[in-house]
């Protein structure tokens, strides 16, 4: 079967070379909601963080600012239609919307609800349940939780019931007739296999039929089968296996995050093997969440259209080789994660560069044979700091990291910490 505009994709054998549909993850946090007003200040949207980001070292690309679509508001139908038109023009085959559901309370749902009700939104789609805590630190950990996932006994049934209007929509992406649902952190479900059974039983009972459950491979999870899911999807930069290069970057001020090379992350993902084989490949165009986490950021160096084009081209080529003749999905993280420096949408530096790279990779027109940008990025000489300033920044950086290591060590040695404090008071 062919891949239709209604979102149907079949694993049936095909002799065509173009058997891959590319899906981009989509963030709906570009409109104000009362909860964000209370937590972050009146009128907060993703753009609030994006616009206040600053460069942390010479040659650091921050802030990422939009060009063609501007600082859009997803409450506007015209904005959603412009995004769809742009995505389709450059070969994107669907959006995977992040869906925020907390024991019946939904957040950021207006764009997806209005998309569902809008018959002129001609774009296949699926949902990814972003089932993690919202926190003050933007890390889903336990630091000052804003709203938590509770996983109540009734949540399994209530969740799939709430999703049923989406799953039944003709535009919803399907694999062999089964609507695909991505779960961001299946390892957090109290009893994943029971949850899966309840979801499947409900969908059969109301006429949806079988559903295809896809586990995002995040936060150490590398095996979807253990949860009773049908497939997995990579989610870079999660589950990194490469080393950081913090010591090679002269930060302007003390830095507590990590820096990585794009080509090393991409190579690691391209060559990764999984215990259960039905894993959809995923790439990102770039990654830098300085806008959200400032000096705790994870910064990927050389997230350029050229490097991204090669990674996407290889992901498509290897998917075709790994599943010959099958129609498959390849994911992109993401269409519009602006505060994570991770977006296909045009910006003021690269313009349409990432979208044009996407089209070349999907159409098989890319001529790249390797990653081209593999060194520490730098500004031109006129903007580069002097040697002495460079040296001062580097010394300050290492002194800070040493001081931080000592503090962490003393935290584990309370007696030594008290003894040192007594000495310092003398």
d(CA 318, CA 270): 8
Within a 10 A sphere around the Cβ of 416, how many other Cβ atoms?
A: 11
- Our measurement of the distance from residue 226's CA atom to the centroid of its chain's CA atoms, rounded to an integer in Å, reads 23
Domain contains 177: yes
Query: pLDDT at position 144, please?
Result: 87
Residues with pLDDT less than 50, the chain? 1-5, 12-17, 380-386, 389, 393, 400, 404, 407-408, 411
Domain contains 223: yes
Query: Furthest-apart CA pair in the chain: how many Å?
Result: 81
Burial 276-309, CB ≥16 within 10 A → b, else e: eebbbbbbbbbbbbbbbbbeebbbbbbbbbebbb
d(CA 255, CA 293): 11
Do 328 and 22 meet the contact criterion of CB atoms below 8 Å apart?
no
Residue 171 structural domain: 8-384
Residues 424 and 308 in one domain: no
Of the candidates 298, 282, 266, the one whose C-alpha atom is nearest the C-alpha of residue 370 is 266
Residues 157 and 198 in one domain: yes
Domain contains 1: no
Query: pLDDT at position 381, please?
Result: 30
> Which parts of 343-386 fold into alpha helices (H)?
353-363
Q: How much is the pTM?
A: 0.88
Residues 397 and 307 in one domain: no
Dihedral angle at the C-alpha atoms of 176, 181, 186, 189, nearest 10 degrees?
-110
Residues 283 and 209 in one domain: yes
d(CA 389, CA 58): 12
The CATH number of the domain holding residue 181 is: 3.20.20.80
Task: Tell me the pairing of strands 174-175 and 178-183.
Answer: antiparallel
Class of residue 143 by CB neighbours under 10 A (exposed 0-12, middle 13-18, buried 19+): exposed
Residues 164 and 246 in one domain: yes
Domain contains 263: yes
Number of helices (H) and strands (E) in the chain: give both, helices first: 12, 18
Q: Which DSSP letter does residue 25 get?
A: E
Class of residue 260 by CB neighbours under 10 A (exposed 0-12, middle 13-18, buried 19+): buried
Measure CA of the first residue to CA of the last residue in the chain; give whole Å: 81
Query: pLDDT at position 138, please?
Result: 67
Q: Phi then psi for 329, rounded to 5 degrees?
A: -105, 145
Domain contains 2: no
Query: pLDDT at position 137, please?
Result: 81
Do 147 and 134 meet the contact criterion of CB atoms below 8 Å apart?
yes
Residues 237 and 271 in one domain: yes
Residues 291 and 269 in one domain: yes
Q: Which DSSP letter does residue 425 get?
A: H
Residues 402 and 311 in one domain: no
d(CA 324, CA 19): 9
Domain contains 260: yes
Q: What residues are paired with 351 via a beta bridge?
A: 347
Residues 74 and 142 in one domain: yes
Do 216 and 233 meet the contact criterion of CB atoms below 8 Å apart?
yes
Residues 87 and 200 in one domain: yes
Total domains, the chain: 2
Domain contains 3: no
Residues 12 and 90 in one domain: yes
Residues 421 and 378 in one domain: no
């Amino acid at each position: 079967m062919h891949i239709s505009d209604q979102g149907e994709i079949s694993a049936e054998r095909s002799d065509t070379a173009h058997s891959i549909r590319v899906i981009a993850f989509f963030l709906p946090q570009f409109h104000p909601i009362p909860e964000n007003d209370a937590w972050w200040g009146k009128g907060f949207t993703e753009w609030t963080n994006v616009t206040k980001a600053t460069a942390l070292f010479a040659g650091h690309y921050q802030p990422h600012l939009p060009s063609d679509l501007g600082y859009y508001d997803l409450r506007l139908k015209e904005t959603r239609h412009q995004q769809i038109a742009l995505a389709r023009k450059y070969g994107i085959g669907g959006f995977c919307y992040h869906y925020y559901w907390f024991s019946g309370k939904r957040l950021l749902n207006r764009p997806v609800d209005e998309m569902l009700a809008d018959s002129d939104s001609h774009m296949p789609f699926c949902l990814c349940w972003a089932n993690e805590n919202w926190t003050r630190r933007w890390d889903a950990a336990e630091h000052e939780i804003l709203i938590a996932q509770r996983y109540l006994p009734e949540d399994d049934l209530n969740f799939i019931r709430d999703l049923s209007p989406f799953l039944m929509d003709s535009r919803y992406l399907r694999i062999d007739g089964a609507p695909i649902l991505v779960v961001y952190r299946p390892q957090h479900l109290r009893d994943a296999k029971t949850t899966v059974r309840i979801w499947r039983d409900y969908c059969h009972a109301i006429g949806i039929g079988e559903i295809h459950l896809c586990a995002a491979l995040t936060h150490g999870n590398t095996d979807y089968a253990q949860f009773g899911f049908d497939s997995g999807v990579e989610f870079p930069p999660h589950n990194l296996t490469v080393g950081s290069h913090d010591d090679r970057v002269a930060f302007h001020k003390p830095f507590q995050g990590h820096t990585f090379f794009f080509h090393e992350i991409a190579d690691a993902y391209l060559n990764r093997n999984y215990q259960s084989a039905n894993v959809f490949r995923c790439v990102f165009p770039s990654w830098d969440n300085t806008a959200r986490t400032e000096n705790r950021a994870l910064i990927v160096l050389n997230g350029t259209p050229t490097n991204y084009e090669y990674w996407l081209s290889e992901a498509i080529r290897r998917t075709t080789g790994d599943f010959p003749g099958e129609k498959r999905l390849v994911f992109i993280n993401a269409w519009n994660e602006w505060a994570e420096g991770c977006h296909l949408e045009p910006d003021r530096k690269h313009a349409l560069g990432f979208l044009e790279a996407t089209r070349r990779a999907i159409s098989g027109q890319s001529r790249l044979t390797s990653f081209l940008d593999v060194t520490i990025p730098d500004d031109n000489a006129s903007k580069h700091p002097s040697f002495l300033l460079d040296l001062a920044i580097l010394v300050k950086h290492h002194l800070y990291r040493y001081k931080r290591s000592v503090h962490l060590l003393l935290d584990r040695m309370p007696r030594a910490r008290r003894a040192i404090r007594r000495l310092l008071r003398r």
